[in-house]
A and B are shown apart, each in its own frame.
Chain A
Amino acid sequence: AQKVTQAQTEISVVEKEDVTLDCVYETRDTTYYLFWYKQPPSGELVFLIRRNSFDEQNEISGRYSWNFQKSTSSFNFTITASQVVDSAVYFCALSEFTYGGSQGNLIFGKGTKLSVKP
């Protein structure tokens, strides 16, 4: 069965610190998708990234970076020079790989609540 574990329930940092959110997944599939989402206090989910298991290259987008390691089944998310606006709950998710763009059955982790203090 597929499973996503986000062991860090809550993290608190001071502004400008770097912070890494951990995500470990379990799947028997050889191909799959991995995702990260952000849910600020307003409640609306924000899609951050979708990565397919074919591509193990790390991804960087501004202050955000993702480290995908198939060998350890991890897809960690790092925020560099954190800001107060980064305060949110972050979810990691896993889905089966499908052709044609289908979403697949998404399995979410329990989330990590990040608080960035000024």
Chain B
Amino acid sequence: KAGVTQTPRYLIKTRGQQVTLSCSPISGHRSVSWYQQTPGQGLQFLFEYFSETQRNKGNFPGRFSGRQFSNSRSEMNVSTLELGDSALYLCASEVGFGLETQYFGPGTRLLVL
């Protein structure tokens, strides 16, 4: 069974640009969650999608948005990038109906210059 894949793995952008990251969950999983990890703020929850609907959202500004497609693949977008958006962005997938195991992707490392 293929694991969670995230593309791209590495990305360099400049301030003010926007970026789109992609996450493909494990086949059959309908829930995808996104997390940001920085040295200063640590791990923070961004949002969770289930069957194309956002179920939960963390405390991030509106520049951070996401969506989920009918095949459960998810994208997250960050507009008007700031230096502080440099981070490792992780996504996780799970079936989505209860106390199941989460599976994480390898992450996308974003550097904003």
Tally inter-chain residue pairs, CB-CB below 8 A. Answer: 66
At the interface, is chain A mostly helix, strand, loop or mixed? Answer: loop
* A-B complex: 5 closest residue pairs judged by Cβ atoms: A108-B43, A106-B45, A45-B104, A47-B102, A101-B97
Q: Which residues of B contact A98 (CB under 8 A)?
A: 55-56
Q: Collect the chain B residues with CB atoms within 8 Å of residue A46's CB.
A: 104
The answer for the CA separation of A33 and B107 in the assembled complex, in Å, is 24
Task: Name B's interface SS.
Answer: strand
Q: Are B55 and A103 touching (Cβ within 8 A)?
A: yes
User: Beta-carbon contacts of A93-118 to B below 8 Å, as 1s and 0s?
Assistant: 10100101111111111110000000
Please state if A101 and B98 are interface contacts (CB–CB under 8 Å). Answer: yes
For residue A43, CB closer than 8 A to chain B, the reply is: yes
A44 touches B104 (CB 8 A): yes
Query: B94: which A residues are within 8 A, CB to CB?
Result: 101, 103
Please give the distance in Å from B95's CB to the nearest CB on chain A. 8
Which residues of chain B have C-beta atoms less than 8 A from A91's C-beta? 43
Number of interface residues of A (CB under 8 A): 24
| A residues in contact (CB < 8 Å) with B | 42-47, 50, 52, 91, 93, 95, 98, 100-111
Residues of chain A lying within 8 A (CB to CB) of residue B57:
105
- A50-B45 Cα distance, complex, nearest whole Å: 16
Say if the beta carbon of B64 comes within 8 Å of chain A.
no
